[in-house]
Amino acid sequence: MVLHRKALESQLVSVLQGCTNLKKVKEVHAHIYRNDLHQCSYVITKLIRVLTVLHVPVESYPRLVFSQVQNPINPFLWTALVRGYALKGPLSEAFRLYASMRTEGIGPVSFMFSALFTACGAARDATLGAQVHAQTVLVGGFESDLYVNNTMINMYVKCGSLHCARKVFDEMSERDVVSWTELIVAYAKTGDMGSAQELFDGLNVKDMVAWTAMVTGYAQNAMPKKALEFFERLQNEGMEADEVTLIGAISACAQLGASKYANWIRDIAENSRFEPAKSVLVGSALIDMYSKCGNVEEAHNVFARMKQRNVFSYSSMIAGFAMHGRAHAAIELFYEMLKTETKPNHVTFLGVLTACTHAGMVEQGQRVFETMEKCYGVAPTADHYACMADLLGRAGHLEKALQLVQTMPMEPNGGVWGALLGASHIHKNPDVAEVASSHLFDLEPDNIGNYLLLSNTYASAGRWDDVSRVRKLIKEKNLRKNPGCSWVEAKNGMVHEFFADDATHPEIGEIKKALDDLMERLKGIGYQPNLSSVPYDIGDEEKKRLLMAHSEKLALAYGLLGTDPGSTIKIMKNLRICEDCHIVMCGASKITGRKIVVRDNMRFHHFLNGACSCSNFW
DNA sequence: CTAGGGTTAG
């Protein structure tokens, strides 16, 4: 009889574990009653845990179940409830439960402290966390408990008290790989990869999670080459990369933006247990990567092959279409998404709105903006207002854009004023540019781009006195111009880099000659240098010379020389492509019959047969 | 039971 009961208990627990919805749980609960097991702490603890995971408010169902236990002396039972409050709050209730448990004469246990630390961490309450910390010391016997100390480190990290976390770590008598990894991640998140690396080097037995923390850390801190180095080292150690590791590496490849790396990691992913068609995470990461590498077709291939899609997959694909100027595809996909179970979130709407912006679809964008809260329950953030300011402003409705910014329900951020400044620059409106930049100089005093946009807007209006006033400001602030830089992929996947007026490339002679030839042929079809692209008060000949030295033109010339005639020329630039270069790219695609893709710091331009996917709207 | 996670705008 006893044996039978035990078997039934563990059977019910495992059934509970597999419950994915409330209805099933309720069925099992009825079964528990029928078998007279509603006093069994083991089963009831599991029941409470499952309910919490399914986001049932602790106050309702779980508490009811708990209260039906006549003599709750099992600390696991109490802790299950406390963990529920740890996830959703309120924090005070978690502590009230802990106090009641002690009054019931139940001694403190390590996992109860862990639950309390989790609660403090989730509430970002370091003060309360420190009180629990003091409790563990006061009660005694927990100072050397590895598990308690690890959750304590985690709590301090979540609260942003890295120093306290480090102190706990330094004073621990025994540490395991979890303790180390927690700190490594904490340093990585603050951008301190030096300390992260130092800790990692001191770690004797490194497991896959620790390695992955380094891959992800370097990827998140914009050091993609380092991230990939660690990814390869991890594999050389004989460890199998899992989903999380792959995502870190894929994100690093996305940052590099080169097809060589993209195809390399794609291969690894396809041959892993987490192939993109089956893993939503890996699939979504690949969509983003291919979009950022200029290959939106391949991004869509991955998307189409995925067996399951979630809000990340859809949002990434929509944003991918948007940055490649495929606005209609983006919006179509958005409506397709609305027919599924997947609900759009704030990121989805950013993608849809940028798609409208990049295609100049003002009315469509306004409609989406107006309905996002009403119909889909997603309240616009300042970023969405930035998109709207961009949408209206670029389309030439500067007054409307300004009005929107001045009446928006939250404080405009740098993105909002920046969009307005960008639009003022395009439409050569120094008055609106002045309003926008006065805010930007407060919000982002060191962002040189804003000063340059204002100064260039003055230049386009011929207000040279104002130009030199802004120039002086830049000098006083000791700000340095970001040198323009372009890369182009050669045949073998090698990436060649060019700065403006750069003569360091070994084949610079041929490159210059190829550029001259191209210019001659362009002139034949009516090209004239766009002198207004040069914001300096200098002679026309000097302007022409500066234009010809732009890094993207050098990269284009090298692309013509160094790649197969049938292939796409892929150029990347760290700044926004200038108008003259844009015209030249259009012409070059017509004359040479080559497909040219340029990624500037804003988006992708696909040049084919004399036209650009951005419809000259950028 | 505690550690590593993806989309975003000027």
Q: Which residue has the tokens 């089963």?
A: A43
Residue A37 lies in a domain: yes
Residue A503 lies in a domain: yes
- Domain hosting residue A96, numbered range: 72-175
A458-to-A86, A187, A371, A492, A537 alpha-carbon distances in Å: 56, 44, 38, 44, 11
| A71-CA/B4-C1' distance, Å | 40
Position A338 pLDDT exceeds 80: yes
Predicted confidence band at A302 (pLDDT cuts at 50, 70, 90)?
very high
Residue A498 Cβ under 7 A from any strand B atom = no
| A151-CA/B1-C1' distance, Å | 10
What is the distance between the alpha carbons of residues A37 and A41, in angstroms, rounded to a whole number?
9
pLDDT of residue A218: 96
Position A410 pLDDT exceeds 60: yes
Helix residue spans in A395-537 (DSSP H): 398-407, 414-426, 430-443, 448-460, 464-476, 508-524
Tens-place pLDDT, residues A165-190: 999 999 999 999 999 999 999 999 99
Chain A residues 390 to 429 with C-beta below 7 Å from nucleic strand B: 390, 414-415, 417-419, 421-423
| A523-CA/B4-C1' distance, Å | 56
The residue ranking higher by pLDDT, A89 or A351, is A351
Q: Do A54 and A108 sit in the same domain of this protein? A: no
The residue ranking higher by pLDDT, A482 or A51, is A51
What is the distance between the alpha carbons of residues A614 and A325, in angstroms, rounded to a whole number?
5
Which nucleotides in chain B lie closer than 7 A to a protein CB? 1-10
What is the distance between the alpha carbons of residues A357 and A366, in angstroms, rounded to a whole number?
10
Please state the rounded mean pLDDT for residues A50-75: 87
Q: Do A1 and A119 sit in the same domain of this protein? A: no
What is the distance between the alpha carbons of residues A110 and A146, in angstroms, rounded to a whole number?
10
Three-state SS string over A145-210 comes to CHHHHHHHHHHHHHCCCHHHHHHHHHHCCCCCHHHHHHHHHHHHHCCCHHHHHHHHHHCCCCCHHH
The residue ranking higher by pLDDT, A532 or A431, is A431
| A329-CA/B4-C1' distance, Å | 35
Three-state SS string over A70-135 comes to CCCCCHHHHHHHHHHHHHHCCHHHHHHHHHHHHHCCCCCCHHHHHHHHHHHHHCCCHHHHHHHHHH
What is the distance between the alpha carbons of residues A491 and A560, in angstroms, rounded to a whole number?
11
Type and span of the H or E element at A608: strand A604-608
Please state the rounded mean pLDDT for residues A401-424: 95
Q: Do A546 and A490 sit in the same domain of this protein? A: yes
Q: Do A51 and A131 sit in the same domain of this protein? A: no
Residue A227 Cβ under 7 A from any strand B atom = no
Amino acid at A466: D
In this prediction, what percent of chain A has a pLDDT beyond 90?
67
Dig out the tokens for A154 from the structure: 């985690």
| A213-CA/B7-C1' distance, Å | 20
**Among A398, A481, A395, A405, CA closest to A443:** A405
Q: Do A14 and A51 sit in the same domain of this protein? A: yes
| A113-CA/B2-C1' distance, Å | 11
Residue A533 lies in a domain: yes
pLDDT of residue A391: 95
For residue A498, the number of C-alpha atoms closer than 13 Å in the C-beta half-sphere is 30
Residue A93 lies in a domain: yes
Asked which of A175, A197, A219 is the last residue of a domain, the reply is A175
What is the distance between the alpha carbons of residues A448 and A481, in angstroms, rounded to a whole number?
7
pLDDT of residue A615: 72
**Which residues, including other chains, have CB under 8 Å from residue A56's CB and lie 6 or more apart?**
A22, A62
CB A46 within 8 A of CB A17: yes
Local structure of A492: helix, strand or coil: coil
Position A1 pLDDT exceeds 80: no
Asked which of A112, A144, A175 is the last residue of a domain, the reply is A175
Residue A227 lies in a domain: no
Please state the rounded mean pLDDT for residues A63-84: 89
Tens-place pLDDT, residues A482-513: 888 898 988 888 889 899 888 899 999 999 99
Predicted confidence band at A399 (pLDDT cuts at 50, 70, 90)?
very high
pLDDT of residue A382: 96
Residue A87 Cβ under 7 A from any strand B atom = no
Please state the rounded mean pLDDT for residues A299-314: 96
Q: Do A93 and A37 sit in the same domain of this protein? A: no
pLDDT of residue A618: 66
pLDDT of residue A18: 81
CB A537 within 8 A of CB A464: yes
Residue A535 lies in a domain: yes
Q: Do A104 and A165 sit in the same domain of this protein? A: yes
Position A227 pLDDT exceeds 90: yes
Q: Do A82 and A47 sit in the same domain of this protein? A: no
Please state the rounded mean pLDDT for residues A308-321: 96
Averaged pLDDT score across all residues of chain A = 92
Nearest nucleic acid nucleotide to A158, CA to C1' distance: B3
**Which residues, including other chains, have CB under 8 Å from residue A61's CB and lie 6 or more apart?**
A51
Q: Do A77 and A15 sit in the same domain of this protein? A: no
Residue A53 Cβ under 7 A from any strand B atom = no
| A11-CA/B8-C1' distance, Å | 45
Tens-place pLDDT, residues A432-464: 999 999 999 999 999 999 999 999 999 989 999
Residue A470 Cβ under 7 A from any strand B atom = no
CB A319 within 8 A of CB A291: yes
| A191-CA/B4-C1' distance, Å | 16
Residue A343 Cβ under 7 A from any strand B atom = no
What is the distance between the alpha carbons of residues A583 and A161, in angstroms, rounded to a whole number?
53
Residue A453 lies in a domain: no
Asked which of A33, A60, A87 is the last residue of a domain, the reply is A60
Residue A134 lies in a domain: yes
Nearest nucleic acid nucleotide to A383, CA to C1' distance: B9
Q: Do A608 and A584 sit in the same domain of this protein? A: yes
What is the distance between the alpha carbons of residues A101 and A78, in angstroms, rounded to a whole number?
7
Tens-place pLDDT, residues A128-153: 999 999 989 888 788 889 999 999 99
| A560-CA/B1-C1' distance, Å | 60
Residue A515 Cβ under 7 A from any strand B atom = no
CB-neighbour burial class of residue A41 (10 A; exposed 0-12, middle 13-18, buried 19+)? middle
DSSP E strand boundaries for A185-319: none
pLDDT of residue A388: 97
Q: Do A27 and A77 sit in the same domain of this protein? A: no
| A246-CA/B5-C1' distance, Å | 10
What is the distance between the alpha carbons of residues A369 and A520, in angstroms, rounded to a whole number?
47
Residue A251 Cβ under 7 A from any strand B atom = yes
**Residue at minimum CA to C1' distance from nucleotide B8:** A347
The answer, yes or no, to whether the previous bond of A409 is cis (omega within 30 of 0) is: no
Domain count, chain A: 3
Amino acid at A125: D
What is the distance between the alpha carbons of residues A321 and A327, in angstroms, rounded to a whole number?
6
Which residues on neighbouring strands pair with residue A605, listed in sequence order? A598
pLDDT of residue A3: 60
| A215-CA/B5-C1' distance, Å | 12
Residue A182 Cβ under 7 A from any strand B atom = yes
Dig out the tokens for A185 from the structure: 């991640």
What is the distance between the alpha carbons of residues A557 and A61, in angstroms, rounded to a whole number?
69
Q: Do A17 and A106 sit in the same domain of this protein? A: no
CB A241 within 8 A of CB A268: yes
Residue A156 Cβ under 7 A from any strand B atom = no
Nearest nucleic acid nucleotide to A347, CA to C1' distance: B8
| A539-CA/B8-C1' distance, Å | 42
| A274-CA/B3-C1' distance, Å | 21
Type and span of the H or E element at A569: strand A569-573
Type and span of the H or E element at A573: strand A569-573
What is the distance between the alpha carbons of residues A232 and A417, in angstroms, rounded to a whole number?
43
Residue A351 Cβ under 7 A from any strand B atom = yes
